[in-house]
Amino acid sequence: MNKVIRFLEELGESSALRLDKVDFESILNNEEFDEETKKAILNEDPAALKMLMDARHKIVCILIPAEPDEEEDDDDSEEDDSQNDEKTSRIAML
């Protein structure tokens, strides 16, 4: 695994990350990262890190359309209509 990715994975897994103050400086001293990578991590600068890692610049995370599936919606409305019809006819029977 890429060294930087492994570093991030281990950091993500660690309980110290959010509860204690992570001493990035001393951890990074033991890592064989280039100076720019160390700097990006120390500055907690994801954008710089992504550039250095040649990661995708733009990523889309939109996963749902604003409208439900047309087919499904039609099915539902038919169902609703029939239920309504049933209700109306029950009322009519009363």
Partner 1 sequence: MNQIGSYASVGIGMMLGAHITPAAKDHILNADVCFLAASDSLVELWIKELHPNVRSLQSYYASNKSRKDTYREMIEVVLSEVFAGKRVCGIFYGHPGVFAYAPHEIVKRIRAKGGKAIMEPGISAEDCLIADLGLDPGKYGCQQFEASQFLFYDRMIDPSATLILWQIALVGDLSFGCEATSSQCRQVLLEELYKIYPENHKVTLYEAMTLPIGEPRIDVIPLSSLVDVKLNDYTTLVVPPLSKMKRNIKIIEKLKRIHSK
Ligand X SMILES: C[S@@+](CC[C@H](N)C(=O)[O-])C[C@H]1O[C@@H](n2cnc3c(N)ncnc32)[C@H](O)[C@@H]1O
- Interacting residue ranges for partner 1, rule: CB under 8 A: 1-2, 5, 8-14, 17, 41, 44-46, 49-50, 53, 55-57, 59-67, 69
Pick 32 or 67: Cβ nearer partner 1: 67
With CB cut-offs between 5 and 8 Å by kind, which of partner 1, ligand X, none does residue 11 bind?
Answer: partner 1
Ranges assigned E (strand) in the chain? none
Q: Which of 1, 19, 60, 61 binds ligand X (CB under 6 A)?
A: 61
What single string gives the DSSP state of each residue in 58-72?
A: --------SS--HHH
Task: List Cβ neighbours of 55 (8 Å cut-off, separation of 6 or more).
Answer: 49
